[in-house]
Structure 1
Amino acid sequence: MTVKKDAVVEMHYTLKNDAGDVIDSSQGKEPMPFIQGHGNIIPGLESALEGMKVGESCDVSVKPEEGYGAHHPEAIQEIPKEALQGIDNLEIGMQLQSQDEQGNPFVVHVQSINEDTVTVDANHPLAGATLHFNVSIENVREATKDELEHGHVHSGSCSH
């Protein structure tokens, strides 16, 4: 079976940056499952995998516009520390849940902590980066009706 829309794909991957540093990898772990064609992985990788078969491997470079998008300087903001009341042990690199004016949730990353202010960044940590993947397809099967309805792969212990 080939990788196609509505198929459950299990893949191993290694993700590197432009310098060749490993950012993330599934090696030594279970393969990563996802449903092809449902936006479960970044668009540039998803389109590159279309048509691949079990046992095949490929190297894929994904530009920012097909990955996590451009880096937006306006997404970096300095906010008063008092706006973060109730958060203990604030640390650089910490992820915080925030929300926009319409109440939609999003994640910000703490960039710096000053006496009265905290600088946070709402960009994805990989925004603006070209992503270099080495991928091997480990398994492909048809998604179940429940998986398609829920939009994600069900493991043996999944219950809704």
Structure 2
Amino acid sequence: MCLPRLRPARTLLRLERQGLRVKQHLTSDAGGCAAHSYGRVRGFFREHPCTALFRALFEVRDKRGNVVLVAVAWVDMPDAAQAREFQRLVDRHGTGNIVELSRERGRYQNVRFTGDHYASVRDDTTVVNAQAQTVGRAPAARALAEQVVDAALSP
């Protein structure tokens, strides 16, 4: 995978190429996966520690003013087998995830990610998952949420 500092930059570029306005709020590579996860995913990381974690949060706006938050997590595991096992777990709805940076600080702490707009990809030992959550209830925002999840994980 790419260097951690380039990961959010590539995601930002993909989103901007779609004509979206993107503000990158926060990035972090601090701490281990167990400390920054919840649900069954946290239990998995207690037994199978990751080797690296990098998280980013993007605020995305379309031309109509719809706002979507996009949380992306890059998780490096010691080997491909553990990466596959982690991906199988995190891809199941209701099993937990990496804590979204918006929950820890900033103006969107009350926004809860439902997992309705979620996708993941794996490249050898690295699993990348992205989830989007609408801010507000406009129907067009739901379509935007699906669009940005796909864009966040595109090559």
The TM-score normalised by the length of structure 2 is 0.23
Relative to total residues, which structure has the larger helix share, 1 or 2? 2
The TM-score normalised by the length of structure 1 is 0.22
Give the number of the structure whose alpha-carbon radius of gyration is greater: 1
* Greater relative contact order, per chain length (Cα 8 Å cut-off, separation 6+): 1
